[in-house]
Structure 1
Amino acid sequence: MIESLRNKHISIFDTTLRDGEQTPGVSLTSDEKLLIAQQLDKLGVDIIEAGFPMSSDGEAASVKRIVDAGLNLQVCGLARVIKSDIDTCLDCGVDMVHTFVSTSDVQRISTIKKSREEVYKMAIDAVEYIKDHGAKCMFSAMDATRTDVDYLINIYKGVEAAHCDIINVPDTVGVGVPSATCKLISEIASNVKIPIDVHCHNDFGLAVANSLAAVEAGASQVQVTINGLGERAGNADLAETVMGLHSLYGAKTNVNTRYIVETSHLVERLTEVRMPPTMPIVGENAFAHESGIHTHGVLVRSDTFEPGVMTPEMVGHRRRIVLGKHAGKHAVKQSLECAGLHPTDAQLNEIMKRVKDIGDKGKRVTDADLYAIAESIIGTATKGEQAIVLKEVSVMTGNIITPTATVKAIVNGKERICANVGVGPVDAALQTVTCILDDYKVKLRDFRIEAISGGSDALAEVLIGVEDEKGRAVSARARMRILSWHPWKRLWLR
């Protein structure tokens, strides 16, 4: 760890609701924005950029609604160095106004068509106007990393003299590298005394690295988004930045890291931007192990093949042992013993061979596959009566029909019939199954359909994974035929 940063407090400025919503294809309702703001408050971020109020009446109303929600965090609104923008932020009652103007020659000449002197005056006037109205002010020199350094420092000195509270150094097009970022922030820090914030974009995958380098050089606040959302390739990801600060640098933030995965899943659901399984910290595979060497190690001691300074529990995640062609005996044996199956060494060797055969064919090995293989080799089925016998299931969906599912099943010897609706046919079916199971709560962890053959009578494979409240998960697969593919992307299944 870098000793100079140990126990140093770094402020977390989240811009999911502003820059994050600028992710192509993302548009949040006022209710969804409030829900995310409340979750960010629960997470413990210091400041949220609730939006750009001048962009629309609806945006202004959403920002004001968040301001009026009584959250513990500070609420910031974005404004150009234009009085009407600033007035709209002030009318919303924000705690801080974040005002910005392009300072690089390429943006200044090509977009706002102003001279350096004009931009300097616009910045000073905007800061003074905000401070005269009693709000905190953050000033951003947009495209700072492509701005002439002497001019950049001059404009930061100017806004400091105008009593700006904090300056932001944005890597607007993501061209910074850690060494250059460190040098730039160090130079700015040696010339101004007010706090420095950084806003890094991820065009070259360096947003988090640049943010951490900026903190090393003297920045005391970083701007982040949940799941790294934002323009183009996005912004610095909150989870990676915060856990890097905590675990690698020993720095402190107000973030309650146990809610990181929970927050990630909420934003993923509301924005419909799916996270890859390999996403650091929050991805499904972040703490998953398949390799025999790795699984053996983590079953004995978790930090043999995990960072150690960061555990899944710290971020609200869980460790998973995944079965596949790289699986080792220890992982397979543990999975079987958890299901009440105890093979001999010879039987375990045969089970391993069949598991690897499935993996060699490019197939995923589910829990149901493993149990079926083990029971056939051991020569005995799992003892006890079948708790659930499915008798009938039907799902209705369409343009004017709310997705509805009906399920009839024998549960612990008693027939039960339930019907429920959902946001889609799969969700409706899961809601109905949950109803059938009464108080036994399960959630869908994984669902995918993979085509096996083509044509109008195509064969597909469905993989499903569910998890209960205690984090116990099970996966299974089945095959089906797709009878037709509707032009509006409705699947008719048999």
Structure 2
Amino acid sequence: MNIKVLDTTLRDGEQTPGVSLTSLEKLRIATKLDEIGVEYIEAGSAITSEGERASIKEITSQGFGAEILSFSRPLTVDIDYCLDCDVDGVNLVVPTSELHIHDKLNISCDELIDLSNDAVDYCKDHGLVVELSAEDASRSNVDFLRKVYSNAIDHGADRICVCDTVGILTPDSSLDLFSKLNDFSVPIACHCHNDFGLAVANTLAALKGGASEIHTTINGIGERAGNTSFEECVVSINRLLPQFSTNVKIDQIYDISKLVARSTGVYIQPNKAIVGENAFAHESGIHSDGVIKNSATYEAITPELVGRKRKFIIGKHMGTHGLDNRLKELGLNVDDIQLKQICDDIKELADKGKTVTDVDLQVIADNVLQINHEDRIKLDELTIVSGNKVMPTASVKITVDDVEILNAGVGLGPVDAAINALKSVDAFKDIDLIEYHVDSITGGTDAFIDVIIKLQKEDKVVSARGTEADIINASVKAYIAGVNRLLRD
């Protein structure tokens, strides 16, 4: 059975506290959703604001293959705004629990049904596709819920949806509820929230109960604890539920996950399934050895399936097989004795609580192999001017291939100014600083600062570290060390 996907990242996802997307960001996300095969895109809530309507209009003007919807209450004013945005349809949300009907709307159940029917009639009279979503359906009386749905279908609703608005379903109760609602003449959808961390499990159970459409958000963002995670749900359907399928191009899932994370500023926890940075990372020696021999030993899916790559992490839990694999990736071939010595040195470093980066690995390997690299760039002098009413300014004197260079730069702060002073030097061009992380190693105002950065030149990414009592010196040293590494490679 083919399962349809309605993605509500641009509506329910944007209701994540602190998230507000620009029209361009919404368009980029909608474009990617359309490209990867999502059937229905809830582009926003037209009633919200003029800017929201402009964003929805921009999306509806693109001629996407996906059906574009707007959230709407069962009110003429909401529906009129949806019509103004040229959407294909509406996600018509109608409260169905006694709590919402009596305490929120202060109306009777019969009045609620009349309100729903009138809204469906108005939508259909104006050519809109209608998906009627029962808000708080999981806390509604099932007989009344069926009555609301039956009336809506009789008035022309094209699809119906069960909303677990506060995330109180369990997989068992989700299966039971959908089994009682799967006999209608139109498709039924599942919209879950993650308040108890069960949104994906409840959605999968709903499919077994008869649902044929799922509501999701990219990375599971949304109000409170979020919504059903698009990537987790789609990949679970693909790999764990052979009786179901979707039209989603799952090898592009990681791309859209990163796009949404960048656009919203809601970054992904490292251990998140499918798209977290550690999802396909291995440090344990037993795991690394098994994965090298056969990836299925410790991976339920291959990283390539979802547009990822496998990583072997350098740390105290690693074994020699994973380490040897990483050394080969760095172009270093070692014998068994050298490999064991490098492994022991890394574990000694990690036991002290230090994060072992590729730079540390390179230095340790160089020491064991007695390799001495001559750095092309050396820092001779660094001067910083900064104050309350002074734009931070840095001057640097460096030696590049035995040629002395003096340069200056300004920035938002002294570190930014120092890095900018270096960036304009030819040796530093086409190198991007993609990650910058600072840790205080000791306590007090004289604490040693540990700066870890990542630099990229074309498809090559390296890590570098600088440790100083002065954060500016530590940052510059780390930056120069990383550039030396890229130039050497």
Shift of 1:381: 2.6
* Residue-by-residue CA offset, 1:260-304 (whole Å, 9 max, x unaligned): 111111111111111111011111101000000111111122111
* Residue-by-residue CA offset, 1:41-73 (whole Å, 9 max, x unaligned): 222211111111111121112111211133232
| Residue of 315, 318, 323 corresponding to 2:306 | 315
* Residue-by-residue CA offset, 1:361-391 (whole Å, 9 max, x unaligned): 2221111111211222222335xx5455567
Corresponding position of 2:365: 374
Q: Note closer, same or farther for the CA distance 1:427–1:341 as it changes in structure 2 (3 Å cut).
A: farther
Q: Write the letter of the residue equivalent to 2:338.
A: Q
Shift of 1:182: 0.9
Gaps of 5+ in 2: 479-489
Corresponding position of 1:350: 341
Determine whether 1:476 maps to 2:468: no
Q: Note closer, same or farther for the CA distance 1:434–1:10 as it changes in structure 2 (3 Å cut).
A: farther
Determine whether 1:285 maps to 2:285: no
Shift of 1:205: 0.5
Determine whether 1:201 maps to 2:193: yes
Corresponding position of 1:298: 291
Determine if contact 1:458/1:483 at 8 Å carries over to the other structure: no
Determine if contact 2:408/2:421 at 8 Å carries over to the other structure: no
Q: Note closer, same or farther for the CA distance 1:209–1:67 as it changes in structure 2 (3 Å cut).
A: same
Corresponding position of 2:206: 214
Corresponding position of 1:224: 216
Gaps of 5+ in 1: 1-7, 485-490
TM value normalised by structure 2: 0.87
Determine if contact 1:406/1:429 at 8 Å carries over to the other structure: no
Q: Note closer, same or farther for the CA distance 1:17–1:427 as it changes in structure 2 (3 Å cut).
A: farther
Determine whether 1:139 maps to 2:127: no
Range with bigger deviation, 67-76 or 364-373: 67-76
Corresponding position of 1:76: 69
Corresponding position of 1:341: 332
SS of 1:189 mapped into structure 2: coil
Shift of 1:108: 1.5
Determine whether 1:449 maps to 2:438: yes
Shift of 1:493: 12
Q: Write the letter of the residue equivalent to 1:295.
A: S
CA distance in 2, matches of 1:312, 1:397: 46
Range with bigger deviation, 310-319 or 37-46: 37-46
Range with bigger deviation, 316-325 or 348-357: 348-357
Q: Note closer, same or farther for the CA distance 1:85–1:396 as it changes in structure 2 (3 Å cut).
A: farther
Shift of 1:408: 7.8
SS of 1:259 mapped into structure 2: helix
RMSD across aligned positions (CA): 3.3
Q: Write the letter of the residue equivalent to 2:449.
A: A
Corresponding position of 1:326: 317
CA distance in 1, matches of 2:166, 2:282: 36
CA distance in 2, matches of 1:159, 1:248: 34
| Residue of 462, 465, 482 corresponding to 2:454 | 465
Q: Which portions of structure 1, spanning 4 or more consecutive aligned residues, are displaced by more than 6 angstroms?
A: 391-428, 491-494
Q: Write the letter of the residue equivalent to 1:82.
A: L
1:379-394 alignment to 2 at 5 Å?
379-381=370-372, 386=375
Q: Note closer, same or farther for the CA distance 1:170–1:375 as it changes in structure 2 (3 Å cut).
A: same
Q: Note closer, same or farther for the CA distance 1:38–1:287 as it changes in structure 2 (3 Å cut).
A: same
SS of 1:108 mapped into structure 2: helix
Determine whether 1:234 maps to 2:226: yes
Determine if contact 1:197/1:223 at 8 Å carries over to the other structure: yes
CA distance in 2, matches of 1:179, 1:113: 32
**Percent of aligned pairs with the same amino acid:** 42
Determine if contact 1:418/1:436 at 8 Å carries over to the other structure: no
Q: Note closer, same or farther for the CA distance 1:41–1:421 as it changes in structure 2 (3 Å cut).
A: farther
Determine whether 1:54 maps to 2:54: no
Determine if contact 1:482/1:493 at 8 Å carries over to the other structure: no
Corresponding position of 1:488: none
Q: Write the letter of the residue equivalent to 1:24.
A: P
Q: Write the letter of the residue equivalent to 2:94.
A: V
Determine whether 1:172 maps to 2:161: no
Determine if contact 1:295/1:321 at 8 Å carries over to the other structure: yes
Range with bigger deviation, 85-94 or 327-336: 327-336
SS of 1:21 mapped into structure 2: helix
* Residue-by-residue CA offset, 1:69-113 (whole Å, 9 max, x unaligned): 332322100110000001100111000111112111112221111
| Residue of 107, 123, 138 corresponding to 1:114 | 107
* Residue-by-residue CA offset, 1:153-193 (whole Å, 9 max, x unaligned): 11111111111010011100000011111111111012x11
Determine if contact 2:270/2:279 at 8 Å carries over to the other structure: yes
Shift of 1:454: 3.4
TM value normalised by structure 1: 0.87
Range with bigger deviation, 143-152 or 367-376: 367-376
Range with bigger deviation, 277-286 or 406-415: 406-415
Q: Note closer, same or farther for the CA distance 1:51–1:249 as it changes in structure 2 (3 Å cut).
A: same
CA distance in 1, matches of 2:139, 2:252: 36
* Residue-by-residue CA offset, 1:325-362 (whole Å, 9 max, x unaligned): 00101122222233343333223222211111122122
SS of 2:57 mapped into structure 1: helix
The total of aligned residue pairs comes to 474
Shift of 1:252: 2.5
Shift of 1:418: 10
Q: Write the letter of the residue equivalent to 1:358.
A: L
Range with bigger deviation, 111-120 or 245-254: 245-254
Determine if contact 1:397/1:425 at 8 Å carries over to the other structure: no
Q: Note closer, same or farther for the CA distance 1:70–1:376 as it changes in structure 2 (3 Å cut).
A: same
Determine if contact 1:174/1:207 at 8 Å carries over to the other structure: yes
CA distance in 1, matches of 2:164, 2:439: 40
Range with bigger deviation, 340-349 or 235-244: 340-349
CA distance in 2, matches of 1:408, 1:183: 72
